[in-house]
């Protein structure tokens, strides 16, 4: 009777380990897929917005007009 009990426990342990591995690797796979989706949706091959470029250029022009070439980099 002990041999059957030991065999059953061994079988359950093997199945449990396989189940835990499947869950673990499935979770890792899902995280990788989600990471790729987020990367390609938000970061890959983004072109700068023309309105922001114009706004930035205008702000730079205004700063140069009022402050000239004054730089505060050397003060701090």
Instruction: Identify the residue whose tokens are 């730079």.
Output: 60
Distances (CA, A) of 41 to 44, 46, 47: 7, 9, 13
Question: Percentages helix, strand, coil for the chain, rounded to the nearest 5?
Answer: 80, 0, 20
Q: Examine residue 18 and state whether it is found in any structural domain, yes or no.
A: yes
Give per-residue pLDDT as tens, 1-59: 445 556 777 788 888 899 999 999 999 999 999 999 999 888 877 776 666 666 777 77
Residue 58 belongs to a domain: no
Task: Tell me how far apart the alpha carbons of residues 60 and 53 are, in angstroms, rounded to a whole number.
Answer: 10
70 lies in a domain?
no
How many structural domains is the chain composed of? 1
Residue 74 belongs to some domain of the structure: no
In whole angstroms, give the CA distance from residue 63 to residue 60: 5
Task: Give this prediction's pTM.
Answer: 0.51
Print the domain residue range for 33: 1-42
């Amino acid at each position: 009777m002990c041999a059957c009990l030991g065999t059953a426990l061994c079988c359950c342990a093997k199945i449990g380990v396989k189940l835990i591995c499947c869950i673990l690797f499935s979770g890792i796979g899902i995280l990788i897929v989600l990471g790729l989706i987020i990367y390609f949706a938000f970061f890959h091959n983004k072109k700068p917005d023309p309105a922001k470029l114009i706004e930035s250029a205008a702000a730079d022009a205004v700063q140069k007009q009022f402050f000239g070439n004054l730089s505060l980099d050397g003060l701090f």
